[in-house]
């Protein structure tokens, strides 16, 4: 009974789908209105932008830019998750680790990613490593903080239950800390992916690589259609990568969907 | 000498073989939040024989849960010691199973995985053992459900099944039925007595319900309100096996009056 209901709830109804389409239609409508009235000088309308986007999708330069950017995202995000999740679990679980590590991370956290760019370009060996570091920072902190929060939110009696059933520290980690923090880890990963894109594009604009470079070049060459088209493309790519994470999360967290 | 050899064969009965005596020796627990001394348990001494069913009765906030936490090993007493089978305890142990007030089944595991978790951590899972225990608790067919899909009464029964899977000598129960409706509660009380009759484990059961305390116990420890002290220990010499019809007998009512009197006396003293 459990899997069937879980899957049913996962699929949005036709009514929900149409509501979401209304939201998108609204965006296009407002955009059309603004561009046709000429409220913002030179802003291309949806049709012009879409035409540019279609042309862009056939452009080998954009293929190369997108694949470079995806590589940056993938690499940075995986590193952020591989460091952020275990570190967050340890910081959340063990007060000693929290006290030893967390204060220094909290000092670094509020620094805006853009502020890191000059330093990383000077210090790191290549433009690519600078971009990846900045992108990593975007993903790392949301993943870390949500993981820590996830551990803190775990009901302490679950730990006691495992201990009074004869569980060791390792058993507590495996059966309570990790699975208990998973929903929050998942939230951190979704937010982290979004911020990874934000930082990626900023870093790429400065460092002259990938899709960020493409947007910047379109700007310097005055190609307004291409600017809008690549913004849409970045939005779509960011949305798609967050969806991938959400999908994996839903599959792993089927038990949470049973709570009403 | 000859006496001993005569007694020996009887002792091979499964029911009489268990350990599980608890000795609480002058245990006090003081909490110190913000420099404010709060005495939760004050100099409690108590001996429970192996196989005995003892209920601890007291108003909320009287430190009875803290007493259970000390015996479970979740918290160290500020002074005094807890002995189990003659040895000072040091932290929680699989020999002292705990049933919590509200369902503490792990929500990310199915009922079967929850019941198997104790044996699994020791590397001793037996196929079909969980189903057997679930059936014993009237929960057949719930193996693949998640805890949130079960009613409160079913969750508490599954939690008892999880504890039984570990086969501890001692069951520590912290108001396990207090959140349930009256009918479910009565059913679970009878079920618990059956389980106890069959296995002869030591049970320490915390409650604020006078009838529940008397119906279940060999002895009722009545606690005073904060700081928690032992007010009196009442022997419950009622026949076993018991069923709920006995709660209307004269003997039971007399005991109930006596305990209620103790509690009211205590409440009066607390107010003065």
Residue B262: which of B57, B65, B93, B101 has the closest Cα? B57
Give the mean pLDDT of B3-23.
Answer: 59
Q: Does A124 touch chain B (CB under 8 A)?
A: no
* Nearest CB to A175 within list B106, B166, B172: B106
Q: Judge whether residue A125 has pLDDT over 80.
A: yes
**Is the CB of B146 less than 8 angstroms away from the CB of A255?**
yes
**Is the CB of B107 less than 8 angstroms away from the CB of A2?**
no
Q: Treating both helix axes as pointing N-terminal to C-terminal, what angle do A210-220 and A224-252 enclose, rounded to 10 degrees?
A: 160
**Is the CB of A161 less than 8 angstroms away from the CB of B98?**
yes
Q: Judge whether residue A257 has pLDDT over 70.
A: no
DSSP chain B: -HHHHHHHHHHTSGGG-----EEEEEEEEEE-GGG--EEEEEEEEEEE-TT-EEEEE--TTSSHHHHHHHHHTSS--SEEEEEETTEE--S--TTEEEE-SS--S-TTS-HHHHHHHHHHHTT---TTHHHHHHHHTT-TT-TTS-GGGS-HHHHHHHHHHHHHHT--SEEEEESTTTTS-HHHHHHHHHHHHHHHHHH--EEEEEES-HHHHHHH-SEEEEEPSSSB-EEEEEE----SS--GGGGGSHHHHHHHHHHHHHHHHHHHHHH-
Q: Do A97 and A3 lie in a common domain? A: no
Q: Do A31 and A134 lie in a common domain? A: no
CB < 8 Å to A255, chain B: 107-109, 146, 148
Closest Cα of chain A to B13: distance in Å? 26
Residue A212: which of A66, A56, A79, A113 has the closest Cα? A66
Q: Does A257 touch chain B (CB under 8 A)?
A: no
Q: Does A243 touch chain B (CB under 8 A)?
A: no
Q: Does A166 touch chain B (CB under 8 A)?
A: yes
Closest Cα of chain A to B145: distance in Å? 6
CA distance A237 to A185: 22
Q: Which structural domain, as residue segments, surrounds residue A81?
A: 45-258
Closest Cα of chain A to B20: distance in Å? 15
Q: Does A16 touch chain B (CB under 8 A)?
A: no
Q: Do A6 and A82 lie in a common domain? A: no
CB < 8 Å to B93, chain A: 164, 166
pLDDT of residue B124: 87
Residues 6+ apart with CB under 8 A from A155: A180, B104
pLDDT of residue B13: 47
Q: Do A3 and A105 lie in a common domain? A: no
Kindly state the percentage of chain A with pLDDT values over 70: 94
pLDDT, tens digit, for every residue of A53-63?
999 999 999 99
Closest Cα of chain B to A85: distance in Å? 19
* Nearest CB to B149 within list A2, A160, A164: A2
Q: Are B256 and B97 in contact (CB under 8 A)?
A: no
Nearest CA in chain B to A180: B108
pLDDT of residue B266: 81
Nearest CA in chain B to A260: B148
CA distance B213 to B57: 7
Q: Do A178 and A216 lie in a common domain? A: yes
pLDDT of residue A55: 92
Closest Cα of chain B to A173: distance in Å? 12
Q: How sure is the predictor about A1, in pLDDT bands with cuts at 50, 70 and 90?
A: very low
CA distance A123 to A121: 6
Q: Judge whether residue B141 has pLDDT over 60.
A: yes
Q: Do A13 and A56 lie in a common domain? A: no
Angle at Cα B163 formed by Cα B159 and Cα B164, nearest 5°? 115
Interface test with B, best of A155, A164, A169, A257 (most B CBs within 10 A): A164
Q: How sure is the predictor about A41, in pLDDT bands with cuts at 50, 70 and 90?
A: confident
Residue A230: which of A59, A56, A67 has the closest Cα? A56
Angle at Cα A82 formed by Cα A76 and Cα A85, nearest 5°? 120
pLDDT, tens digit, for every residue of B153-203?
999 999 999 999 999 999 999 999 999 999 999 999 999 999 999 999 999
- Its ipTM equals 0.89
Q: Are B52 and B202 in contact (CB under 8 A)?
A: yes
**Is the CB of B146 less than 8 angstroms away from the CB of A161?**
no
Number of domains in chain A: 2
Question: Which secondary structure element, helix H or strand E, spans residue A159, and what is its range?
Answer: helix A156-164
Q: Does B124 touch chain A (CB under 8 A)?
A: no
Q: Does A170 touch chain B (CB under 8 A)?
A: no
Q: Do A125 and A247 lie in a common domain? A: yes
CA distance A117 to A127: 10
CB < 8 Å to B84, chain A: none
Q: Are A44 and A35 in contact (CB under 8 A)?
A: yes
Cα B200 to chain centroid distance, Å, stands at 13
pLDDT, tens digit, for every residue of B57-110?
988 778 899 999 999 999 999 999 999 999 999 999 999 999 999 889 999 999
Q: Does B121 touch chain A (CB under 8 A)?
A: yes
Q: Do A37 and A137 lie in a common domain? A: no
**Is the CB of A176 less than 8 angstroms away from the CB of B117?**
no
pLDDT of residue A249: 87
Q: Judge whether residue B9 has pLDDT over 50.
A: no
List of domains in chain B: 18-95+184-272 (3.40.50.300), 105-167 (no CATH)
Kindly state the percentage of chain B with pLDDT values over 90: 77
pLDDT of residue B265: 85
Q: Do A35 and A160 lie in a common domain? A: no
CA distance B69 to A260: 31
Least confident of A43-47, A65-69, A174-178, B256-260: A43-47
Length of chain A counted residue by residue: 260
Residue B194: which of B206, B181, B182, B203 has the closest Cα? B203
DSSP assignment letter at A258? G
Q: How sure is the predictor about B10, in pLDDT bands with cuts at 50, 70 and 90?
A: very low
Q: Does B118 touch chain A (CB under 8 A)?
A: yes
Q: How sure is the predictor about A10, in pLDDT bands with cuts at 50, 70 and 90?
A: low
Give the mean pLDDT of A75-104.
Answer: 96
Q: Does A220 touch chain B (CB under 8 A)?
A: no
Q: Which residue has the tokens 């909490």?
A: B31
pLDDT, tens digit, for every residue of A159-208?
999 999 999 999 999 999 999 999 999 999 999 999 999 999 999 998 88
**Is the CB of B122 less than 8 angstroms away from the CB of A166?**
yes
Q: Do A6 and A99 lie in a common domain? A: no
Least confident of A12-26, B85-99, B235-249: A12-26
- According to DSSP, the residues that pair with B222 across neighbouring strands are B57, B232
Least confident of A3-7, A212-216, B58-62: A3-7
CB < 8 Å to A168, chain B: 121
Q: Judge whether residue A101 has pLDDT over 70.
A: yes
Question: CATH code at A61?
Answer: 1.10.3720.10
Q: Does B106 touch chain A (CB under 8 A)?
A: yes
Instruction: Provide the whole-model pTM.
Output: 0.85
Q: Do A176 and A223 lie in a common domain? A: yes
Q: How sure is the predictor about B248, in pLDDT bands with cuts at 50, 70 and 90?
A: very high
Give the mean pLDDT of B16-35.
Answer: 87
CA distance A183 to A258: 13
Q: Do A11 and A72 lie in a common domain? A: no
Q: Does B108 touch chain A (CB under 8 A)?
A: yes
pLDDT of residue A43: 84
Most confident of A27-31, A105-109, A184-188: A184-188
């Amino acid at each position: 009974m459990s899997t069937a209901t879980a899957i049913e709830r996962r699929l949005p109804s036709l009514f929900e789908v149409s509501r979401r389409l209304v939201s998108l239609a609204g965006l296009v409508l407002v955009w059309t209105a603004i561009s046709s009235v000429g409220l913002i000088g030179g802003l291309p309308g949806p049709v012009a932008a879409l035409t540019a986007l279609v042309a862009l999708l056939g452009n080998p330069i954009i293929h190369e830019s997108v694949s470079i950017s995806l590589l940056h995202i993938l690499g940075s995000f995986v590193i952020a998750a591989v460091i952020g999740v275990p570190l967050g679990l340890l910081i959340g679980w063990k007060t000693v680790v929290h006290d030893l590590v967390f204060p220094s991370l909290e000092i670094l956290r509020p620094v805006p990613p853009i502020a890191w760019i000059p330093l990383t370009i000077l210090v790191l060996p290549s433009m690519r490593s600078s971009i990846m570091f900045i992108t990593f920072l975007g993903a790392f902190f949301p993943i870390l903080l949500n993981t820590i929060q996830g551990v803190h939110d775990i009901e302490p009696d679950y730990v006691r239950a495992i201990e009074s059933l004869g569980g060791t520290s390792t058993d507590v980690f495996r059966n309570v800390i990790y699975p208990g923090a998973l929903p929050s880890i998942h939230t951190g990963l979704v937010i982290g992916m979004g911020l990874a894109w934000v930082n990626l594009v900023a870093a790429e604009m400065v460092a002259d690589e990938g899709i960020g470079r493409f947007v910047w070049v379109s700007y310097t060459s005055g190609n307004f259609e291409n600017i809008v088209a690549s913004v849409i493309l970045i939005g779509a790519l960011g949305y798609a990568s967050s969806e991938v994470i959400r999908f994996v999360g839903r599959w792993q967290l089927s038990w949470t969907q049973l709570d009403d | 000498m000859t006496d001993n050899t005569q007694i020996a064969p009887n002792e091979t009965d499964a029911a009489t073989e268990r350990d599980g005596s608890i000795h609480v020796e002058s245990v006090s627990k003081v909490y110190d939040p913000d420099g404010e001394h709060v005495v939760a348990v004050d100099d409690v001494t108590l001996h429970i024989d192996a196989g005995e069913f003892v209920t601890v009765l007291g108003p909320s906030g009287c430190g009875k849960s803290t007493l259970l936490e000390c015996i479970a090993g979740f918290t160290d007493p500020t002074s005094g010691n807890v002995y189990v089978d003659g040895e000072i305890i040091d932290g929680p142990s699989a020999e002292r199973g705990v049933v919590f007030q509200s369902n503490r089944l792990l929500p990310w595991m199915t009922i079967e995985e929850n019941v198997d978790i104790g044996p699994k951590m020791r590397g001793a899972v037996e196929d079909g053992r969980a189903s057997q225990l679930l059936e014993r608790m009237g929960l057949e067919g719930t193996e693949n459900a998640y805890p949130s899909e079960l009613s409160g009464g079913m969750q508490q029964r599954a939690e008892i099944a999880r504890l039984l899977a570990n086969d501890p000598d001692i069951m520590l129960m912290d108001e396990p039925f207090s959140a349930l409706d009256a009918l479910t509660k009565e059913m679970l009380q009878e079920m618990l007595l059956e389980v106890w009759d069959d296995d002869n484990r030591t049970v320490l059961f915390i409650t604020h319900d006078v009838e529940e305390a008397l119906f279940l116990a060999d002895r009722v420890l009545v606690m005073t309100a904060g700081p928690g002290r032992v007010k009196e220990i009442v022997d419950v010499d009622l026949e076993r096996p018991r069923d709920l019809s006995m709660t209307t007998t004269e003997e039971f009512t007399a005991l109930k009056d006596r305990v209620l009197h103790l509690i009211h006396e205590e409440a009066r003293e607390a107010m003065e």
